[in-house]
A and B are shown apart, each in its own frame.
Chain A
C-alpha cells in the first residue's frame, strides 16, 4: 500500500490574496523525507523520460532518503542549472510527474498519487541556495581566451551563460530591460517566484564571471554583425516570446484592456502594486475578466485579485476560457490556487466584442457560448460557437492572455537570420545554430511559448555546440 502524498504547505488563501508573498511554502526536511520515502525507486524508472533535460530523478530522490541533500543538489545540477526556479515553475504534472509510474495510464496530466517531484526538487534547490552549494568552475585555458555574447537574460540566456562561464569563457549578457531575468522577472509574479530566488541564480553567474549589461537592446544599439567585429566568437540569442497576441475583436483598444504582458510587467517588473511608492500605475476594476487558459492567464487573474483586495474592492475576477478546465494549458497547481483564492471560471465562452463608455473605458464584454467539437491540430477538442448564444458580462478591466509571439526587433534588424512562419528563429535541432554561422538560439525564440526547463534544454545544447566550436579553434 502506497502512502498518501505529502501535501505542501501554502499560505492560507485569505492571507495571501492581500499580498504578493510566495504562496507555496515548500517542504520542510521531514516532509521531504516522507515524500521521498514514497518513491518506489523503480528498477527501470520512467519519470526521467518526462523531464525535458533528463534529470536523474530516481537518484536525487534516493539521495534525499539518505539525507544526502548536497548530493541530491549536484545530481540535479548535472542536468538543470536552476533547481530552485524549476522546482517552483515547472509544469511537473505534464512532465516528470505525468511520466511517474504512479500516474494512471492515459491521464491527461499527473495523478494526485504521483510523487511530488517538483516539491522535492525545490527542497533540494533551496537547500543548495541556503548552503551556497556552487558547482565548481572547470576552467579550460584554451576556451578562456574567447568571449561570447548572450542576448537576453531570461531562462535560456542565463542557462547558456552559466554553461559557458563554467568553462572559463568570458560571457557578456545584453538585456534590454533595466533588470535581468527576462520573463522570470517581468512575467512570473513574485508570489510564484520570489525575486530573491532569481537573484540568487543571477548572483551565482556574476560570481563566476558573467558580465551583465542592462538597458542594451541588441538590434538597435548594436547589430549582431558588430558583436562579431568586437571580437565575440559566438552569439547566443535568447530573445524570448514577448509580443502579446490580441483577440482581434471590436473594442479591444478601449482603456483598461491590457495585454497580459503589459499587466504583468506593470505589476511585477515595475512594482505597480506598490504605487505610489513605486511610480508606475496600474488600473483595477470591480469586474475583472481574464481571457485565456494558460499560466499567464492564471498569473494575471491572481495578480488582479490581489490588486482588488489591496484597493478595497470586493473580490471579483473571472477567467474566461473557450474550452473546458481539462483542456486548460495552465499548471494544475495554479488552477487549484486560483480557485482557492476565489477566482471564478467561465468555460466554453468566446469573446465577441468589447463595449465602452464615452471616456473610452471598457464596460462590457459581449460573449458567445461554445461546445466542444472535433479535435484540432493541438489534439484538443475545438470549441464550436452555439448560434444565438450571445450574452453580456460586466467588465471594467480585462486582461488578454491568449499567447505570446517571438520578439521581433533583433530579427527585423538581422535579415540574414532565417525565421519560420511564426517568426521564430530557425535552428539546426542538433547544434541550435541558426542560419548565421556562429549565431545560436534557444528558448521561446526557437520553440514558441514553452517552459523554463525546455528553454534550459535548448540553451545547454547550444552551449555544448559553442564549446565544441571554440575548442576546435
Chain B
C-alpha cells in the first residue's frame, strides 16, 4: 500500500490528473484489464473505487490515475511517495471480456481515457483491430495520446473547441465511422453523458457496446448495493456484476441521478478542506 511514484499527468485550467504507482504484489499478481480497487486515504477516509490503469506483476506494483475532482481524490493527490494508503483492496469486479472480436472502437473521454488504456492494450494483444476515439475539452486537457496511439491501429482526437484534432464530440466521429463500416464492438469509458450518447449512437447501428460504469460504492464487494444500476430492467450491482455492462441496456438517467446523491455533502467537505488548507 506504499506509494512508490507520483506523476502529474496533467495540470491545466483547474483540471489535475495524477498517477500513483502503489506497491501491492497480491493485487498486481491477479489484476486483469477492466478491474478496479477500493481505497482509503486515511482511517477517517471514504472508500472509493478506482480503475487499475496498469499493473506490473514482476515489480508487484499497481498504477492508478485519477482526476483530483472531489475531496477524497484531492486528498489522494496530496499523498507523497513513501507514504502508505490506509486501505487498498482488490482486484475487484469482473475483468473486461478480452478476445478477438475483430474490429473494435474504443471511446474515451476525460479521465476515462486512462481507464481504456489497459483494455486497448489487451484488445490489441488479442488480435483485434483497435480504433480509438479520444474526447477532450481542448488540446491541453488531452492525456495519454501517445500511449493510446501505440495501442491502436488508428486514433482520432475530438476537442470541444477544435484546438486539436477535430472539433466536435466523440460521438460525431463514432457516427462517421459506423456509417462507413461495420464494427464488432464498441467499448466506452468516460463521463456518464458521453457514455449515454455513445450507446445511443451505436444502438442506431446495432453495434454491441460495453461501458465501464463509475457508480458510487461503499464496500465494493457486493454488500451494500450503493452502486446498484438498472440494466435491462433488472437491478445489478456495478461492483460485483460489472463494472462493464451492455451500454444499450443501462438506465442512464437513473445512474446520473444516483451519482449526485451526495453533492451537498461533497461541496461542504471540499469547502471545509480549502479553508483548512488556507
- In the complex the two chains form, what is the Cα distance from A103 to B265 in whole Å? 50
Asked if A243 contacts B89 (CB within 8 A), the reply is no
- In the complex the two chains form, what is the Cα distance from A31 to B225 in whole Å? 44
- In the complex the two chains form, what is the Cα distance from A349 to B87 in whole Å? 42
Given contacts A262-B218, A281-B265, contact A253 B258 (CB under 8 A): yes
Give the nearest-CB partner of A213 in chain B: B26
B46 contacts across to A, CB distance below 8 A: 270, 279-280
Give the nearest-CB partner of B217 in chain A: A262
- In the complex the two chains form, what is the Cα distance from A214 to B223 in whole Å? 16
Asked if B47 contacts A280 (CB within 8 A), the reply is yes
A379 within 8 A of B: no
Tell me the smallest distance from the CB of B253 to a CB of chain A, in Å: 8
Give the nearest-CB partner of A222 in chain B: B26
Asked if B225 contacts A283 (CB within 8 A), the reply is no
- In the complex the two chains form, what is the Cα distance from A252 to B228 in whole Å? 10
A258 contacts across to B, CB distance below 8 A: 225-226
Of B107-115, B166-174, B182-190, B266-274, the one with at least 4 CB within 8 A of chain A = B266-274
- In the complex the two chains form, what is the Cα distance from A427 to B91 in whole Å? 29
Asked if A176 contacts B222 (CB within 8 A), the reply is no
Asked if B262 contacts A217 (CB within 8 A), the reply is no
Give the nearest-CB partner of A276 in chain B: B269
- Chain B contributes a number of interface residues (CB within 8 A of A) equal to 46
Asked if A178 contacts B268 (CB within 8 A), the reply is no
| 0/1 interface trace, chain A 227-268, chain B, CB 8 Å (1 if under) | 000000000000000111010100011011011011001100
| 0/1 interface trace, chain A 177-188, chain B, CB 8 Å (1 if under) | 110000000100
B251 contacts across to A, CB distance below 8 A: 253
A361 contacts across to B, CB distance below 8 A: 261
Asked if B223 contacts A261 (CB within 8 A), the reply is yes
Asked if B228 contacts A253 (CB within 8 A), the reply is yes
Asked if B224 contacts A265 (CB within 8 A), the reply is yes
- In the complex the two chains form, what is the Cα distance from A252 to B233 in whole Å? 12
B71 contacts across to A, CB distance below 8 A: 279
A377 within 8 A of B: no
| 0/1 interface trace, chain B 163-181, chain A, CB 8 Å (1 if under) | 0000000000000000000
A266 contacts across to B, CB distance below 8 A: 218
Residues of chain B in range 211-247 having any CB-CB distance to chain A below 8 Å: 218-219, 221-226, 228-230, 235, 240
B87's contact among A178, A244, A278, A407, by CB below 8 Å, is which?
A: A178
B72 within 8 A of A: yes
A378 within 8 A of B: no
Classify the secondary structure of B's interface with A: mixed
A20 within 8 A of B: no
- In the complex the two chains form, what is the Cα distance from A266 to B216 in whole Å? 13
B278 within 8 A of A: no
- In the complex the two chains form, what is the Cα distance from A242 to B269 in whole Å? 30
A195 within 8 A of B: no
Asked if B221 contacts A359 (CB within 8 A), the reply is no
B92 contacts across to A, CB distance below 8 A: 217, 220
Give the nearest-CB partner of A404 in chain B: B223
- In the complex the two chains form, what is the Cα distance from A248 to B226 in whole Å? 15
Give the nearest-CB partner of A255 in chain B: B261
| 0/1 interface trace, chain A 210-225, chain B, CB 8 Å (1 if under) | 0000111100111000
- In the complex the two chains form, what is the Cα distance from A222 to B24 in whole Å? 13
B86 within 8 A of A: yes
Asked if B235 contacts A359 (CB within 8 A), the reply is no
A407 contacts across to B, CB distance below 8 A: 221-223
Tell me the smallest distance from the CB of B151 to a CB of chain A, in Å: 26
- In the complex the two chains form, what is the Cα distance from A256 to B40 in whole Å? 23
Classify the secondary structure of A's interface with B: loop
Given contacts A220-B30, A275-B265, contact A409 B221 (CB under 8 A): yes
B90 within 8 A of A: yes
Asked if B89 contacts A360 (CB within 8 A), the reply is no
B230 contacts across to A, CB distance below 8 A: 253
A270's contact among B27, B47, B222, B257, by CB below 8 Å, is which?
A: B47
A216 contacts across to B, CB distance below 8 A: 26, 89
| 0/1 interface trace, chain A 355-368, chain B, CB 8 Å (1 if under) | 00001110000000
Asked if A178 contacts B257 (CB within 8 A), the reply is no
Tell me the smallest distance from the CB of A353 to a CB of chain B, in Å: 15
Tell me the smallest distance from the CB of A258 to a CB of chain B, in Å: 8
A220 contacts across to B, CB distance below 8 A: 30, 90-92
Residues of chain A in range 383-411 having any CB-CB distance to chain B below 8 Å: 407-409
| 0/1 interface trace, chain B 29-73, chain A, CB 8 Å (1 if under) | 110000000001000111100000000000000000000000110
Tell me the smallest distance from the CB of A407 to a CB of chain B, in Å: 7
Which of A258, A261, A407 counts the most B-chain CB atoms under 10 A from its CB? Answer: A261
| 0/1 interface trace, chain A 276-305, chain B, CB 8 Å (1 if under) | 111111010000000000000000000000
B240's contact among A246, A261, A360, A408, by CB below 8 Å, is which?
A: A408
A261 contacts across to B, CB distance below 8 A: 223-225
Tell me the smallest distance from the CB of A444 to a CB of chain B, in Å: 12
Known contacts A217-B221, A242-B223, A243-B223, then 17 further A-B pairs from the complex at CB < 8 Å, ordered by chain A residue: A178-B89, A221-B29, A221-B90, A222-B26, A252-B235, A253-B230, A253-B235, A255-B257, A255-B261, A258-B225, A261-B224, A262-B218, A262-B224, A276-B269, A280-B45, A281-B269, A409-B240
- The chain A residues found within 8 Å of chain B, CB to CB, are 176-178, 186, 214-217, 220-222, 242-244, 246, 248, 252-253, 255-256, 258-259, 261-262, 265-266, 270-271, 275-281, 283, 359-361, 407-409
Across the A-B interface, the 7 shortest Cβ-Cβ residue pairs: A360-B257, A281-B265, A262-B224, A178-B87, A242-B223, A259-B225, A255-B261
- Could you list 19 examples of A-B contacts with CB < 8 Å? A177-B219, A178-B47, A216-B89, A217-B90, A217-B221, A221-B90, A243-B223, A248-B235, A253-B258, A262-B226, A265-B223, A276-B269, A276-B272, A279-B46, A280-B45, A280-B47, A283-B261, A407-B221, A407-B222
